[in-house]
Amino acid sequence: MQHSHDTIITEDVAIAGKILLQGGIVIFPTETVYGIGAISTKPEACKRIYEIKNRPSDNPLIAHFSSIEEIEKYAKIGIQSELLLKNFTPGPLTLILDSKITSFEDSIFTSGLETIACRIPAHTSVRRLLEYVGLPISAPSANISGKPSITREKDAIAVFSGKVDCILKGEEPIVGLESTVVDARKLPIQLLRAGSLDPQKMENLLNLRFIRPTSDSSLSPGNRYKHYAPNAKLTIIEENPSLEILNLQKDEKIAWIGFSKWDKAFFQIVVQSNQEYAYRLYAFLNECDLQAVDQIYCQVPQKDSLQEAIANRLHKASDPR
Ligand code: TXA
Ligand code: MG
């Protein structure tokens, strides 16, 4: 299995589950984005995820669990974390918890950290997969490191066929952005990555305000790395662009995502709401790469609970390389 380059593409959870149990790598949909997973307690398989993704070895993987009880076998759940888990999962929330793991072999869970990022996903396919294997599945987002995450099956197949052992077909992600990452082990609680969950709802539940660590913080290793960047230069603008202000070369292919139509775009997606913006953003960015556009313009998101998460992804995607 280890070095096979034949990728089985299947809807059958049992086939995908067997491949995982044999130490294989499986791509699967979740409600947020596609994940690239291995059984968490198989360090060799977990290491292969880093190779396939070209992921820096100090950036730990999120472990996916079927229930709170399963998490408790591997990590300590404090009072605030438990409240968040009980109220917002299964769903797009990841909690940083203190690890109970003592054996060196299992330390791959965390890239050697003493914490584990734990998530109980809601998506039917991954839940059935977790139940089948009866073990946690470590899975970062299924994308080559630095590239946009993947929310369409066709992108998952195009990028990972021949690289992984199996691609599990199932309903495509409905959220479109990676899970919200929270460290509620001590106060103040830290929002390490904004996602689709409204931070205010979590704050209200706990009656506590969350802080946002600066992007160069060492607390969430992923924040150190460049992310989500398509090939073309991406610019964030307030309004539907006019040609005059853009100063374009004549034959440049321009892509646009925003809340109104733009006639000059070679390729565009018009969204009605932030929810739709989040849902379609990565598909848009991946399509920009496929269509080899020259420049990408993205409208700033609307001011609601999803603004922070969308703006965060846009800023990372617009990083000058
Ligand atoms: O929605 C999601 O969370 C998707 C799906 C597949 O579940 N997964 C995902 O994984 O986005 P990834 O690897 O792309 O992002 C994981 C983030 C990274 O920023 C990583 O640094 C952080 O979580 N992380 C993982 N373990 C951590 C830990 N022990 N302490 C702090 N941050 C951690
Ligand atoms: Mg990722």
Is the CB of residue 97 below 6 angstroms from any atom belonging to ligand 1? no
Res 159: pLDDT: 97
CB of 161 closer than 6 angstroms to any ligand 1 atom: no
Distance 244 CA to ligand 2 centre (A): 36
**15 Cα to the center of ligand 2, angstroms:** 25
Q: Which ligand is nearest to the CA of 144?
A: 2
Task: Say whether pLDDT at 218 is over 80.
Answer: no
List pLDDT tens digits, range 242-254: 655 666 667 889 9
For the CA of 110, the closest atom of ligand 1 is 29
Residue 2 has pLDDT above 50, yes or no: no
What is the pLDDT, as a whole number, of residue 9?
98
- What is the model's pLDDT at position 270? 97
- Residue 167, SS3 per DSSP: strand
Residue 212 has pLDDT above 90, yes or no: yes
List all residues 6 or more positions away from 160 whose beta carbon is below 8 Å from its beta carbon. Answer: 7, 27, 36, 52, 142, 167
Q: 249 CA distance to ligand 2 centroid (A)?
A: 33
| Centre of ligand 1 from the C-alpha of residue 56, in Å | 13
| Nearest ligand by distance to the CA of 220 | 1
Expressed in angstroms and rounded, the spacing between residue 145 Cα and the centre of ligand 1 is 12
* E strand or H helix at 191: strand 189-193
**Which residue, by CA, sits nearest to atom 21 of ligand 1?**
222
Q: For residue range 220-246, list pLDDT tens digits in order.
A: 666 656 677 899 999 999 876 665 566
Give the three-class secondary structure for 256. strand
Taking only the tens place, the pLDDT of each residue in 20-48 is 999 999 999 999 999 999 999 998 999 99
User: How far, in Å, from the CA of 307 to the mean position of ligand 2?
Assistant: 19
Which ligand 1 atom is at minimum distance from the Cα of 34?
6
Confidence band of 102 (pLDDT split at 50, 70, 90): confident
Q: Which residues contact 181 (CB under 8 A, 6 or more apart)?
A: 94, 95, 96, 117, 191, 192, 193, 195, 220
At residue 245, the pLDDT reads 60
Give distance in angstroms: CA of 273 to centre of ligand 1: 26
CA-derived radius of gyration, the chain:
20
Ligand index nearest the alpha carbon of residue 178: 1
What pLDDT does residue 273 have?
Answer: 98
Please give the Cα distance from 122 to 129 (Å, whole number). Answer: 12
Q: Which atom of ligand 1 is nearest to the CA of 139?
A: 6
Percentage of the chain modeled with pLDDT above 70: 88
The per-residue pLDDT for 242 is 67
pLDDT digits (tens, 9 = 90+) for 148-182: 999 999 999 999 999 999 999 999 999 999 999 99
Summary mean pLDDT of the chain: 91
Dump pLDDT digits (tens) for 45-91.
999 999 999 999 889 999 999 999 999 999 999 999 999 999 999 99
- The response to whether residue 178 sits with its C-beta less than 6 Å from ligand 1 reads yes
Instruction: Report the pLDDT value the prediction gives residue 319, as an integer from 0 to 100.
Output: 75
Mind giving me the DSSP string for 11-69?
S-HHHHHHHHHTT--EEEE-SSSEEEEEETT-HHHHHHHHHHHT--TTSPPEEE-SSHH
Per-residue pLDDT at 275: 98
d(CA 72, CA 100): 9
The pLDDT, as a whole number, for residue 262 is 86
Mutate to test the pocket of ligand 1, among 220, 224, 225, 312 (most ligand atoms within 8 A of CB): 220
Residue identified by tokens 């599945």 is 137
Neighbours of 105 (CB within 10 A): 11
Report every protein residue that has its C-beta within 5 angstroms of ion ligand 2: 141
Percent of the chain with pLDDT over 90: 80
- CB distance 221 to ligand 1 below 6 Å: yes
